[in-house]
Amino acid sequence: MPPNFEALSLIAEVALGIVGFSAILIGLNRSQAGLSEPDDFRIRLLSFSGFGALFAALLPFAAFDLENSHHAWRIVTWTLACYALFGLMIFPQKMLFLRAKGYVTLFPLHIFAVQTGILSLVFVLSTFMVVGWIEEKALCYTVCLLLYLAQSSVAFFRTMFVRVTSEVDQASSVRDEHR
């Protein structure tokens, strides 16, 4: 059964909008000092999730032109699983590094759990689709893309509204002085 191409088109459009707004955000935040480490991380996570949703939504349009939908699903689900694994290897570790560096208030445990949980859930679901443990691949694939949209939206709103303040920077520098 092929995916719902109308839903995938909508997901691609929303992801493109989120990625476009992140480009504007990057452009407006340009300064000589550059972005702070937390903002840089959040924009990278936003871009990773947004581009992941965008390209994963567009991939089935090319893959399902193949004669055999079984091969198309293999291509699409393997790609999604590899992309999710790549995210799991980078982002949780970087978020823990930023927490250890003194940005605990910007990256509380519940945000860490949500962001890592989304990456983990997408990886697990896509892996289950690869091995054939999930029958409704079209629905599950769409859910994975919606999870990426949710993750990029959280990163976008946190970048916009949860700002790095001098208090956080001062707290981390004071902590570094005591070490």
Could you tell me if 98 and 37 are in contact, meaning their C-beta atoms sit under 8 angstroms apart? Answer: yes
* Count of the separate structural domains present in the chain: 1
Q: Is the predicted pLDDT of residue 33 greater than 50, yes or no?
A: yes
Q: What is the pLDDT of residue 175?
A: 52
Selected residue with higher pLDDT from 81 and 1: 81
8-20: average pLDDT: 95
Q: Looking at the predicted structure, is the pLDDT value of residue 174 above 90?
A: no
25 pLDDT above the threshold of 80: no
Whether pLDDT at 29 is above 70? no
Quote the domain boundaries for residue 145.
Answer: 5-178
Rounded-to-integer distance, Cα 23 and Cα 101, Å = 26
CA distances from 2 to 14, 72, 78 (A): 21, 9, 16
Least confident of 17-31, 85-99, 109-123, 128-142: 17-31
Q: Is the pLDDT assigned to residue 172 strictly greater than 60?
A: no
Q: What are 91-101's pLDDT values in tens digits?
A: 999 999 999 99
Instruction: Name residue 120's amino acid.
Output: S
